[in-house]
Amino acid sequence: MTQINTEARPGIREITAASIEESSRGRSEPDWLTQQRLAAWSVAQALPLPTQRTEGWRRIDLGGLELDRLVSQQGTGVATDVKSTLADNLAGVAGSLRIEDGNVVERFLAPELERRGVILSSLRQAVAEKPDLVQKHLGRLVTGDESKLVALAAALWADGLFLYVPAGVAIEQPILSRIAATGAAPTFFRSLIVTEQATDVTVVEDFLSDDAAGESLASGAVELVTGQASRVRYANLQEWNDQTWHFNRLKSETGRDSRIDWLFVAVGGQTHRSEIDAALNGQGAETDLVGLIFGSGEQQFDHQVLQDHIGNDTRSNSSFKAALGDASSSNFQGLIRVNKTSLRTDSNLENRNLLLSDHSKAESDPRLEILNSDVVRCAHGATVGPLDPETIFYIQSRGVPADEARRLVVEAFFDEVMVKIPVEAIRESVWRTVQRKLGREPGQNDRPSGADAWQAD
């Protein structure tokens, strides 16, 4: 049993079951949520921190994670300037929520959508105003029992996104949620997205912090529930500073004839781990998962992806791409599971990795678990290798310098992912990060091509 050490020290807050209960009562949270937090805290105290001997964790090194210190530390009290990805420009966005250090600092939703019953709020506000709706779903898909880090997020989450889309509502422009950290205090977040039948919505969650914030911990969970014949496009963009330990568990429940398109971008953090469980529950459910990982320095990225086929006639496709420079590393473990009663499954899984230096490393483990014989297609594959020297030579033969040829190949490698980021300002922000990691600050005309609309089909 590994305990969270919360002895009183300068800049350290004491966390106990009693303090969690007191804090929950002080926010007038309902009893069910208080008990949910306390149960998760008990699990967090009982579970050990994963090591490289723990199943599913053997390729990620948590040796430098001082969990007790990072969980308990408070902010410095010195404000830092976390740059807004949208530069305060909400054009082309149907709704926006910004949370800094657990506090809501911005909320906007188009009046027409409010009139039609769409709810966009912080999760804490939704608990207060729509407790029955939140109770029905919160903690049902991600329980907190999955690992010590998930349990901590379930016990200590400060706030997060809540989005509810009623039946028959189609939202043409994206909904944007930004969670920002301005100091070293941990960021525990939780997001809940619920859509009823025959809905259509695009959601972007952006996580960012300033370099001056220092070493910190970010841990959270995302639960995504869809009704029948609904369409959800969900983008998760991780742009923490390079001293952040980031852990996130995401799980969906996909209804009959519904589709969820996932987009993951991971460019920040010193260590990043995402556990993605895409459950295809209803007949005819579909999901696409696309990922972009760009590592530099000694960053390490770990993605665990499950395409879980439960209903009949379901379809899934997964494609994750990583480019790794310096001594960065990426681990990808993907599984297509076709359950015993899941008939006529069509699924594909692939992971491609570019090694940009002799010291970078990528490991990939795509797997199939097929428990019945009525399958349309199940395929998987992975590649790991350096930039193709023949391609670089060909570009150089056209008068392009070697460094520029290398950048062009990496940019082309990522282009199909970049054009799927549905908010132009965020797409440009991620593109600038990619350019910076390639050793060039982009100019005004170096933007990735592609329309604002999500082109996932």
What share of the chain has pLDDT > 70, as a percent? 89
pLDDT for 65-103, tens place per residue? 999 999 988 654 444 445 444 434 556 899 999 999 999
- Report the candidate in 260, 235, 201 with the shortest Cα–Cα distance to residue 423: 235
Q: What is the DSSP pairing of strand 300-309 with strand 329-338?
A: parallel
pLDDT at 23 over 70: yes
Please tell me whether the overall predicted TM-score, pTM, comes out greater than 0.75 for this model. yes
pLDDT tens digit string along 116-133?
A: 999 999 999 999 999 999
Mean pLDDT over residues 141-161, rounded?
A: 95
* pLDDT value of position 456: 41
In the chain, what's the furthest Cα-to-Cα distance?
69
Quick one: tokens of 322? 């990583």
Confirm if 355 and 324 have CB atoms less than 8 A apart: yes
Quickly tell me which residue has 């959601």 as its tokens.
203
Rounded distance between C-alpha atoms, residue 298 and residue 295, angstroms: 8
Query: What pLDDT, on a 0 to 100 scale, did the predictor assign at position 417?
Result: 83
Q: Is the pLDDT of residue 447 over 70?
A: no
- Asked whether residue 457 carries a pLDDT value surpassing 50, the answer given is no
Q: Is the pLDDT of residue 203 over 70?
A: yes
Helical pair 17-26 and 31-46, crossing angle rounded to 10 deg: 160
CA distances from 202 to 124, 176, 267, 352 (A): 22, 9, 21, 26
Using 50, 70 and 90 to split pLDDT, how confident is the model at 266? very high
pLDDT band at 327 (very low <50, low <70, confident <90, very high): very high
Q: Could you tell me if 295 and 360 are in contact, meaning their C-beta atoms sit under 8 angstroms apart?
A: yes
Q: Are 108 and 187 in contact (CB under 8 A)?
A: no
Between these two residues, 320 and 402, which has the higher pLDDT value? 320
